[in-house]
Structure 1
Amino acid sequence: MNGERVKMGIMGLDDMLGGGLIPGSICSIIGTYGTGKTTFSLEFAWEGLKKGENVIYISLEEREERIVTYMQQKGWDVKPYLNRSLYVIKLDPTDFNLANNRIKNELPKLIEEVKAHRVVIDPISLFEDLFTTDFERRQEMFRFVEGLRDKKCTIMMTSETDRDNVFASRHALIEYLSDTVILLRYVRPSDLTDVHLALEVVKMRMSAHSREIKPYELMQDQVLVYSEANVF
């Protein structure tokens, strides 16, 4: 598919994605703790702000001020964007009715009101946890994702991996609903050597993409994906 791509703003990763994400698509970042899911999301949000786009950042783990602090610690001056083109919202996943209502009903309205170009939900797996049965979870998530597609914005969602399968999300659902899936994981050549971080673009609809596993590094001010290197 041709046309302008939505840049992730992460050196090396955009190359692996054929230039970036497809506009209006849904991307999932899946990984275990410490692999940098939130860092990838923040980079995605910051890249949009730099391009003059409106960004909504929904956090189900961290308070608003913590998200802003993380961005400032990277050397990014986000204050001029707050509540103008950057909207950071904290949801309490322990309050089912409130979180469910705000994500399913209020978020689509907010996207329209602020004319959001990019939306981050970090992590979507805590929203998935709200549902008690697999049937209800699949049904509600399908409706939610299909509703977001109508808003014409580019969505990024993060998810923890399943406890017993590092190649799948916690509920093994969001990767089927997403257009692009990026898997983050640790690679341990042996118990006596350094641990490496590696990523893989597992899936990308409507676009050619790299299928190689590439090392990456979480720096203080940026993420570097070594798209020309091998993991070992």
Structure 2
Amino acid sequence: MIKERILIGIPGLDEMIGGGLIKGSTTAIIGTYGTGKTTFALQFLFEGLINGENCIYISLEESEENIYEKITDRGWDLEKYKDKSLFVIKLDPTDFNLSINSIKNDLPDLIKSVDAKRVVIDPISLFEGLFDDQSTRRREMFRFIEMMSNLDCTLLLTSETEQNNNYSSRYGLVEYLSDTVIVLMYIRPSDLSEVHTALEVVKMRRSNHSREIKPYEIQEDKVNVYSEASVF
């Protein structure tokens, strides 16, 4: 059976994952601060917007104004999409009941009502942090991912890395629950010269993918992954 794919919209990365994400799958982008997780997520949504798809961005960290400003700074026509095909929602992670109910109960209804095909939660680690213990966190995250998999959309989650492990998400869960895991990292040469950013596709279910570490660059209006280059 041929798996239908959708492009992330990042040259080089789509080639590394065999021509795009599998439609309806869940992807986790994991990285430390400053590696561009939000930019990757926005690029994923923009690819959907220019192809006529409705998209939802759930922010648990930055305000709606900041997200809209980032979109405008990248030269994208915000007014063409805002509240028409792009819906940005800010949730307060300090309000436990509101955030839990919004993500578990309101989000599925919103996805269905606007027929959203791409959904981003940035960062999912703040949602995970709402649960006091690991067993509850694991159970609730499993239920959430299962719920999302039954909806007609492709989900992208961002997560900070665990403090002492650049390949692990903060709570070590999303990489096991996601179909595709992309890790963003800094590469520091031994001669302490200029620091570079690089990524690795560490996991992709139901698809072949590149296992090489490749450099990437965030430019003013796009992200480029140099799939033919080497970081060493």
TM range (shorter): over 0.9
- Partner deviation per Cα, 1:124-174 (whole Å, 9 max, x = no partner): 000000000000000000001100000020000000000011110000000
| CA apart distance, 1:81 | 1.1
Q: How do residues 1-232 of structure 1 correspond to structure 2 at under 5 angstroms?
A: 2-190=2-190, 192-232=192-232
> Helix, strand or coil for the counterpart of 1:147?
helix
Gaps of 5+ in 1: none
- Partner deviation per Cα, 1:103-123 (whole Å, 9 max, x = no partner): 110001101111110000000
Name the aligned partner's letter for residue 7 of structure 1.
L
| CA apart distance, 1:192 | 2.2
| CA apart distance, 1:3 | 4.1
Name the aligned partner's letter for residue 65 of structure 2.
E
> Helix, strand or coil for the counterpart of 2:176?
helix
What percent identity do the matched residue pairs reach? 64
- The whole-number CA distance in structure 2 between the counterparts of 1:221 and 1:107 is 29
> Which stretch shifts more, 75-84 or 153-162?
75-84
| CA apart distance, 1:83 | 1.1
| CA apart distance, 1:191 | 5.5
Name the aligned partner's letter for residue 152 of structure 1.
D
- The whole-number CA distance in structure 1 between the counterparts of 2:231 and 2:79 is 38
Name the aligned partner's letter for residue 186 of structure 2.
Y
- The whole-number CA distance in structure 1 between the counterparts of 2:79 and 2:201 is 33
> Helix, strand or coil for the counterpart of 2:22?
coil
**For residues 187 and 24 of structure 1, do their structure 2 counterparts lie closer, same or farther at Cα, with a shift above 3 Å needed?**
same
- The whole-number CA distance in structure 2 between the counterparts of 1:50 and 1:91 is 26
Structure 2 length-normalised TM: 0.98
Between Structure 1 and Structure 2, how many residues are aligned? 232
The alignment's C-alpha RMSD in Å is 0.9
Gaps of 5+ in 2: none
- Partner deviation per Cα, 1:62-115 (whole Å, 9 max, x = no partner): 111211110110000021211111100000001101001101100011011111
Structure 1 length-normalised TM: 0.98
- The whole-number CA distance in structure 2 between the counterparts of 1:86 and 1:195 is 34
Divergent runs of 4+, >4 A:
none
> Helix, strand or coil for the counterpart of 1:83?
coil
- Partner deviation per Cα, 1:182-232 (whole Å, 9 max, x = no partner): 000011112521111110000000111111100001111111100000002
Name the aligned partner's letter for residue 62 of structure 1.
E
